[in-house]
Amino acid sequence: MSSIKVKKALLSVSDKAGLIPLAQTLKSFGCEIISTGGTGRKLAEAGISYTDISKVTGNPEAFGGRMKTISFNIESALLFDRERDAKEAADLNIEAIDMVVCNLYPFQKVLEAGADFETLIENIDIGGPTMVRAAAKNFKYVATITNPDSYDSIIAELKENKGALSYETRHELMRIAFNHTADYDAMIAQAMDKSLGKESLRLSFTGGKTLRYGENSHQSALYFKEVGAPNSLYDMDILHGKALSFNNILDIHGAIESVRTLNRTACSVIKHSNPCGLCEGTDQRTVLEQTWAGDPISAFGSIIAFNQKLEKSTVEFLGLEKKASQRKFVEVIVAPSFTDEALEYLQLHKNLRVIAYDVNAPRTGKDIRYMNGSLLVQDLDDQLHSKIETVTTTSIEAPNDLVEFGLKAISNIKSNAIVVVRRKGDMLQLLGMGAGQPNRLVASKLALEKCGENLTNEYTGAPEGLEAYIREELGKTVLISDAFFPFPDNVELAHEYGIKAIVQPGGSIRDNKVIDKCNELGVTMIFTGLRHFKH
């Protein structure tokens, strides 16, 4: 299809940002501008002449502005087929309008400002969507501009093509226009439902990217961005490496979440969405080493996230300059930014994905899960505890920063979950975890066994002193459960390994039996009042 010269344009906008340069460009190519009240005044202030829309409709604006653009003349000028209907349009004295520039009444803005119901009703646009849809339907001959962000590219094309726009541009503008009116109507529908106590949810996503594959190689997968979402993970900057898969993105999200709320220099190693290593401290290289030490076997093929700019001295730990068998194999590294030297070093591995994303940006929205034609929606789990209460007669001090570190860790691990955390020098470290178990006792056993394995790896003394060393070190840790202990068996197991402090939400009908067992064994138990299931 050919380009269309814009000889007549209708401008009627609520958001007038950037409008004047567009109008001036149209005028410079001899385009006649038709406009409505507020937009017309803005044009007049800039010295741009226009035709008042009432001269086209044959009627004045009426009913407090509710009637402006809706008319046979306007909609016909937008809708008629320039080839098939040319004679009929001429007989009816209909002159073609080649462009509509329209963004709608600011319903979202007044809704978010807490406006009353009557104000919301007055901010439902009727004429605007009618014009936009008519123009978009007839995109073969009409350009429809609904987003001020499009103005610069439109101006550039008008200048390059002497006042004309290509078919490809009109087609793209049509797509944007129909998405715009669909989102607008969905937002109004949700608000009207809510006004009558009927909750509804209409989601809008765009920009579907094809991923390498889904959870398994035989599954295809797409990745979308929620319209208007701030800090969307979709916008992560892939600086290096091969394309991402479905699993990569899930693990990247898990990695970001696990370091997002940590206070100091932090690092996480993620495998199958769970942090198998997590640490915070002051020295980035040492923090990475201790994170990796949390489970060096599971760290193979992992995702690593940092909450601060990544330095070359840190990533040299991976040994990428060595032959393949001596490197530490990692799938993805995520950080807010990278030094030039760090990025250059990471690029030694041609397939390693290097991603820049602001891991410290606040989360927004809801936790949404789609299943077989149904949808679950919940608030984000963004509260650590409602109390920190020692409920046993034995009271060993469990430092608040260590407890909070452990709670942040466990809120990112699949249930049933147990973590054991410790202070090591100036660092806080996840020493062992058990994740995703149907039996909490098994989760405890896995976490404690991993602690024993890691402490064995770090021990440098005589063999006969190993058992005492493990027990002594575990006595300095805190064991944290994501939900209450239903029976005393977890306490008994923890005590066998030397654990002296346990944190759990409480709330079981058998709390007293669990507390009694702690008192009997000299174990401190702290209730937090909040569980952290992650299914």
Residue 196: both structure tokens together = 């009558």
495 catalytic, yes or no? no
Q: Which residues pair with 9 in a beta bridge?
A: 33, 99
- DSSP-based three-state secondary structure for 416: coil
Percent over 90 (pLDDT), the chain? 83
Regarding whether 301 and 322 lie in a shared domain, the answer is: yes
Same domain, 282 and 152: no
C-alpha separations of 69 from 72, 391, 496 in Å: 9, 70, 79
| Per-residue model confidence (pLDDT) at position 113 | 92
Residues 191 and 222 in one domain: no
**Domain-embedded: residue 363:** no
For residue 174, being part of any structural domain is answered with yes
- Please report whether residue 284 resides in a domain: yes
Consecutive H or E run containing 359? none
Instruction: Classify residue 75: in a domain, yes or no.
Output: yes
Where among 314, 338, 356 does a domain terminate? 356
With contact defined as beta carbons under 8 Å apart, do 259 and 266 qualify? Answer: yes
Per-residue pLDDT tens digits for 450-507:
999 999 999 999 999 999 999 999 999 999 999 999 999 999 999 999 999 999 999 9
H-helix or E-strand containing 417? Answer: none
* Enclosing domain of residue 100: 4-195
E strands, 156-287, where? 164-165, 205-210, 222-226, 237-240, 265-271, 274-281
Q: Which of 356, 371, 392 is the last residue of a domain?
A: 356
Using CA atoms, how far apart are residues 506 and 485, in angstroms rounded to an integer? 7
Do 191 and 107 reside in the same domain of the chain?
Answer: yes
Helix (H) or strand (E) holding 500: none
pLDDT for residue 66: 82
What average pLDDT does this structure show over 432-452?
A: 94
Q: What's the CATH code of the domain at 181?
A: 3.40.50.1380
Q: 24: which strand partners?
A: none
216 with 182, same domain: the answer is no
Asked if 92 contacts 74 with a C-beta cutoff of 8 angstroms, the reply is no
CATH number where 305 lies: 3.40.140.20
- The per-residue pLDDT for 398 is 81
How open is the CA angle 448-452-457, to the nearest 5 degrees?
A: 145
Cα(215)–Cα(309) distance, integer angstroms: 30
Residue at a domain's end among 356, 372, 401: 356
Percent of the chain predicted with pLDDT > 70:
100
What does pTM read for this prediction? 0.86
Please check whether residue 78 is in contact with residue 138, taking contact to mean a CB–CB distance below 8 angstroms: yes
Helix/strand/coil percent split, the chain, to 5: 40, 20, 40
Whether residue 313 lies inside any domain: the answer is yes
272 as an active site residue: the answer is yes
Q: Do 40 and 118 reside in the same domain of the chain?
A: yes
Active-site residue (options: 8, 16, 272, 424):
272
- Is residue 183 located within the same domain as residue 284? no
Please, which pLDDT band fits residue 396 given cuts at 50, 70 and 90?
Answer: confident
Q: Quick one: pLDDT at residue 364?
A: 79
pLDDT tens across 2-42, in order?
Answer: 899 999 999 999 999 999 999 999 999 999 999 988 899 99
Q: Single out the residue of 3, 68, 82 nearest to residue 34, CA to CA.
A: 68
Specify the pLDDT at position 535.
87
* Separation CA 506–CA 495 (nearest Å): 18
Tokens of 413: 């691990």
Residue 520 confidence (pLDDT): 94
Q: What is the pLDDT of residue 97?
A: 96
Residue 365, pLDDT > 90, answer no
Do 104 and 27 sit in the same domain of this protein? yes
Q: Do residues 176 and 312 share a domain?
A: no
Task: List, in sequence order, the alpha helices (H) in 261-354.
Answer: 284-293, 312-315, 340-346
Claim to verify: residue 221 and residue 135 sit in the same structural domain: no
The torsion angles phi and psi of 191, rounded to 5 degrees, stand at -65, -40
Question: What pLDDT is recorded for position 1?
Answer: 62
Asked if 180 and 204 touch (Cβ cutoff 8 Å), the reply is: no
The answer to whether residues 215 and 319 belong to one domain is: yes
Strands 330-335 and 302-306: parallel
Alpha carbons within 13 angstroms on the beta-carbon side of residue 348 total: 18
d(CA 179, CA 146): 10
Residues 289 and 318 in one domain: yes
What total number of domains does the chain contain? 3
The mean predicted confidence, pLDDT, of the chain is 93
Active-site residue (options: 137, 309, 424, 513):
137
Q: Is residue 298 part of a domain?
A: yes
Q: How confident is the model at residue 57 (pLDDT cuts 50, 70, 90)?
A: confident
- Tell me what the mean pLDDT of segment 194-217 comes to: 91
Q: How confident is the model at residue 402 (pLDDT cuts 50, 70, 90)?
A: very high
Give per-residue pLDDT as tens, 263-302: 999 999 999 999 999 999 999 999 999 999 999 999 999 9
In a domain, 338, yes or no: yes
Indicate whether 237 pLDDT > 90: yes
Band of residue 68 on the pLDDT scale cut at 50, 70, 90: confident
Residue 113 lies in a domain: yes
For 91-129, write each residue's pLDDT tens digit: 999 999 999 999 998 899 999 899 999 999 999 999 999
